[in-house]
Homo-oligomer: A and B are copies of this chain.
Amino acid sequence: MRKMVRIRTKSTGHELALSLRNAYLTMHRQTDACFAEAGVTADQFVLLCALADEKEALTQQELADRITSDRNTLRAMLLLLEEKKLLRRDPHPTDKRARLVRLTPDGEQVQQVLWTQSETFRKHLASLLSPEDTEDLLALLRRFAWALMPQEDAP
């Protein structure tokens, strides 16, 4: 007769998942706080930065991929930011199904102000570990995420 044993929740995979979750959520909370008084969420800031980084406007689908979101989720975010006049969604010149998303001048300014305002927080993030360890963590995270992504989605 087998002895009843409580299944232990220990495994490298589980610990990795929990550590990644803990690190992200802790950071995310602080990032949200960093932008809260401007009425912008951390996720919205990521979106604004993705647009600011691009010379050319992106379609909604491209933008969704860029910020690790999906088109329905993205749309909800875009409507919120559009209402605040931070971005526009123009018809695509050649593909009539698509829309091109762009920052408005207001949106560019808000992104730049928030970027500057969050300088200290970014410096803080980069200073938590030694420069070498930070680079290692960055490289490992990238390789991890890359390997985890369904390969057709990989950039």
Interface residues of A (CB under 8 A from B): 6-9, 11-28, 30-31, 46, 49, 52-53, 68, 111-112, 115-116, 121-126, 128-129, 133-138, 140-145, 147-149
For the complex, give the distance between the alpha carbons of A139 and B78 in Å. Answer: 37
This chain: copies in complex: 2
A18 to B118, CA, bound (A): 14
How far is it, in angstroms, between the C-alpha of A27 and the C-alpha of B145 when the chains are bound? 8
Query: Which among A123, A135, A137 has the highest number of chain B CB atoms within 10 Å?
Result: A137
Given A129-B147, A137-B16, are A52 and B123 neighbors across the interface (CB < 8 Å)? no
Known: A16-B137, A137-B137. A145 touches B7 (CB 8 A): no
Q: Name the one of B7, B26, B133 contacting A52, with C-beta atoms under 8 angstroms.
A: B7
Q: Is A7 touching B112 in the complex (CB atoms < 8 A)?
A: yes
Return the chain B residue nearest A148 by Cβ: B26
Contact A20 B24 (CB under 8 A): yes
CB pair A144–B149 under 8 Å, yes or no, is no
Closest to A7 in B: B112
Give Cα A8 to B52, complex, Å.
Answer: 8
**Residues on B with beta carbons closer than 8 Å to the beta carbon of A68:** 21-22, 25-26
Contact status of A21 and B46, CB under 8 A, knowing A134-B16, A137-B137, A144-B129: yes
Of B11, B12, B28, B53, which contacts A9 at CB under 8 A? Answer: B53
Could you tell me if A49 and B122 are in contact, using CB atoms closer than 8 angstroms?
no
